[in-house]
Structure 1
């Protein structure tokens, strides 16, 4: 039995995976940045994890939410600029979703 590795196919899959992962991460980061710019910074409530992970307390979560709301009120952007940033954030998250769904399509269907 002779095993032959198709290096061209391996390199194509590797490059596609690197580019796809980089684009998903870049668009997700852009979406978060635009979401914060629009004054809607995501505040994550504490979750119960194992002792190996540090979890913020309820007091710290309330303080972060209050600081986020205060920063949103101080924004120098107009309402139109905030709306445009929010639209851009949703578009960036949409690109991430399409990229993931496209990858799943290639894996499962194709």
Structure 2
């Protein structure tokens, strides 16, 4: 007969839910701070299969121009932008450390 420890199942479910919310939340906050610091991530178009629409070079230049314009219009001082950039990197670091911690828990079975 198979016995399921439902309390352990609930504990794992809650831990996974909290970890997912924290990782996604810190990543979103990091992206927000990265944009506020004037370093909006602009991804160059890539070649894909027919199923995915790829933006043209003209659209990519327009997006880069809009990001540069938004960075120039930022009401933040240079010091505030640097603090936002450090905060963004800290948020990304928290994401990386939490993923690494989860992997260590899996590998060492704690």
Regarding TM over 0.5, the answer is: yes
Q: Deviations over 1:17-67 (max 9, x none)?
A: 110001000000000000000000000111222222222111111110111
**TM-score computed with the length of structure 2 as normaliser:** 0.94
CA RMSD of aligned residues (A): 0.9
Matches within 5 A, 1:31-42: 31-42=30-41
**TM-score computed with the length of structure 1 as normaliser:** 0.94
Give 5+ residue unaligned stretches, structure 1: none
Distance 1:106 1:58 in 2: 44
Deviation at residue 109 of structure 1 after TM alignment: 2.0
Give 5+ residue unaligned stretches, structure 2: none
* 2:84 corresponds to: 85
Matches within 5 A, 1:1-110: 2-110=1-109
Say how many residue pairs are matched.
109
